[in-house]
Chain A
Amino acid sequence: MAEMNPPTGPNGGFLYEPRSIWSVASVETNDDVLPDSAEFARVVFSRNELRNGQRWPVILNRIAIMAVNYLYTDPASTFTSPRDAGASFLSRVRLRIGVPFRQSWSRFEILTSTYRPAPTYAEPTVTGPYSGLFGQVRLNYDKPLYMPRNGAIEMALSSPSDVSSFGPPQNNVFGTAGVTSIPTNIAYLEEGGLLPGSARSKRLNLNLSQDPNQHPNAQGIPYMLPPNFGPATVNNGVKFWDARHTFNAREFNQREATRAGSTKQLGVGIAMDQRAYDDALIALFGSSGQIAPLSMRVGSRVKTSSFGSQADWWRPGAPLALTFDTISPAVVYHFPQPITLQPGDSLSVEALFPGPAYAASFGQVTAGVENAPNYALGISFNGYAAIEG
């Protein structure tokens, strides 16, 4: 421990680890569930999921918001209001955010698309409905993570779902099309050594899970069962947390580039090559709208090993786009001033989703239903924990 962050060393004796406090909420808003006169459906995000449950203060300096869905827009959808049937419904949802007994950002709900987005998306425009050119997400650490010689970072990725959410759930959709896995690359960038730096990287295949269980709060995300691994029914043997989808400490240490003692970790990137997945989706359902990246539906769990807190950086299962937000398809908003959540503090977030009478609330008289039957929204508060060494 003397090697790591001595009081007179970098960061003044503190180790800063990334942290994210996240939650996903979904709601059914069709007129079978809500009355026809309902303009909005109000959803309160789980307070427990937005709590700092660790024993270190967490400094949050940005928020990431994203829809959890397959397509950005779905003009060919069977929904009455196809323009709300994809991830672009962020222009319809309003949020109210506060810290109980401390502060509230606004008295009224604010439209999610009016938070000033940071320039985080790094996918150039592409001709065709493909998800993008690069398929990457990235997290540059707020403060460098000083890792001792024998330290490591462990990461596990969840299995993407091979269940379609279009109409009735259909299992083994992509398997039938010959797509059973997503080639995925992970790389941790570090500074130091004779060259400017190095990366510890791994290439793996994320096998698609045919578990038909859907997350109760997020359409399209495989249901994350209790932490004893394994769904109740396994159609093709691929579990939510599959042992093949990990970059463990042993592999991390095997890829060291320098033996110079402590290294300065700068960030981590994940790239998922979903070209074959996109092509299969288009072949199955037609070019009905731009496909959303898989980073919006693949979760992760990350923690340090043999140094630092050795606690999860975020509650396992967070969609990559919510936590890797330096380059991400999520809408990322930087706070003018950071918020510090002490151990036990939580955030309060309420969302308003369009109801059957949403258009009528603007004085618009329309025939038929204007909203989509269900919405799923993910939100995360990102920053870092200050861990005393």
Chain B
Amino acid sequence: METMPFYTQEYQAWLMQLATENIARGVIEEPRVYFDNILLDAAPLETISGSDIFKNGERFPVRLTHMMLMVNTGTQAEIDAGLLTDERLIQDVGVQLRFHDQFYMNPDFVAAPLWATQPSVSPPAVNQSTASWRFVRPVIFSARDTLQVDVQLITPAVTATPVNVTFTGVGVSSKRPYFLNGQIALFDGAVRTIPTDNFRNDGAEPILITDMVVNIAGALGSDNPSGDIRNLRIQVKQLGNGTQATWMIGPTSPSNLGVGAALLGIYTGRVIVHQFPGTGLLWEPGEGLDVVARRLSGVNGKISLGLGLAGYSVVG
């Protein structure tokens, strides 16, 4: 897998070359995150991810480059029922990927912290509230395209909670930076859509979308201006060009977006980020694997493990 240089002229040249080749060949590459929330009881019980969740159910191949791990928070009712939400409990989780009697990384469960292969923690001032994801392949955003971004609070506050989502990129023709930002205030646990006109490409040139940043602030009027990124769920879909499919694939329902926004902290955030060696995993349509997790100690109490596999689909 090519390395991703930082924002330099070489990086921009690489972006342009990639985009030009893709446009010429008619190839669309879209971000994908396969996710699940696995409920873990005390050791030695092993829990397997939901069936067919980590599976390429589309008609196009998907390349997966990263895996993310975190301890989810929960609703007050779940916490009252005994769900443990201490993030430090990630140290007590072992994970394994299974594919037809093959194991990654090991037949023994490897402790979650050891899956981290790169530093990916944002500065303390924004670490609690922000998750950022640099796409391995930029998204070609055509003129008049927009993004449908749905957000949902897990535990609403008494007052409204501002949520910001930003997509950054560069113009294919002008090479200038683009900054598409949308904001919404959430006051309950319902799924809300950030107005799509905030993300619309109103220009005359395609935009290469390279990054996505999600931020949640403290509830209005609270002492702490920084929110908890674990308290937010998110879903994204491109409208116009692209596959029109949701980028995050996993157990969702109309009232529950499923994927925690914190899991998107692949570039910087507060989750464990594992970069697969070499070129990562390539899933042809129908291929997939199982994720198995277990607690490493017999300490009582359930935790919800948030796990994601991130990459991109290739639509030829």
Measured CB to CB, the residues of A under 8 A from B are: 119-126, 130, 132-136, 138, 140, 183, 185-187, 189-191, 193-201, 203, 255, 257, 266-267, 269-271, 273, 275, 326-327
Contact = CB atoms under 8 A, between A and B. Distances in A.
B11 interface: no
A253 to B, nearest CB: 14
Nearest to B120: A122
16 contacts: A120-B119, A123-B121, A125-B124, A126-B88, A133-B270, A135-B91, A136-B114, A140-B118, A187-B114, A193-B102, A197-B278, A198-B104, A201-B111, A201-B114, A273-B91, A326-B118
A275 B88 contact: yes
Given A124-B128, A269-B113, A327-B116, 15 more contacts: A119-B119, A125-B124, A132-B88, A133-B270, A138-B117, A185-B113, A187-B110, A196-B277, A196-B281, A255-B106, A269-B116, A271-B91, A271-B114, A275-B88, A275-B91
Contacts of A189: 105, 117, 277
A329 to B, nearest CB: 11
Contact of B105 (A119, A125, A199, A273): A199
Contact of B121 (A122, A138, A203, A267): A122
Contacts of B124: 125
A267 B119 CA distance: 14
Contacts of A196: 104, 276-281
Interface in B185-238: none
Contacts of B281: 195-196
Contact of A257 (B97, B106, B278, B297): B106
A138 B108 CA distance: 20
A255 B269 CA distance: 32
A275 B111 CA distance: 14
Contacts of A136: 113-114, 116
Nearest to A120: B119
B127 interface: yes
A266 B92 CA distance: 24
B257 interface: no
- Sorted from nearest, which 8 A-B pairs have the closest CB atoms? A199-B105, A124-B270, A271-B113, A197-B277, A185-B111, A191-B277, A136-B113, A134-B113
A148 to B, nearest CB: 19
Interface string B86-114: 01111110000101001111101011111
B258 to A, nearest CB: 22
A321 to B, nearest CB: 13
A197 B105 contact: yes
B104 A134 contact: no
B296 interface: yes
B120 A199 contact: no
Contacts of B110: 185, 187, 199, 201
Nearest to A279: B88
A200 B107 CA distance: 9
Contact of A121 (B102, B119, B270, B272): B119
A125 B120 CA distance: 12
Contacts of B279: 196
A194 B127 contact: no
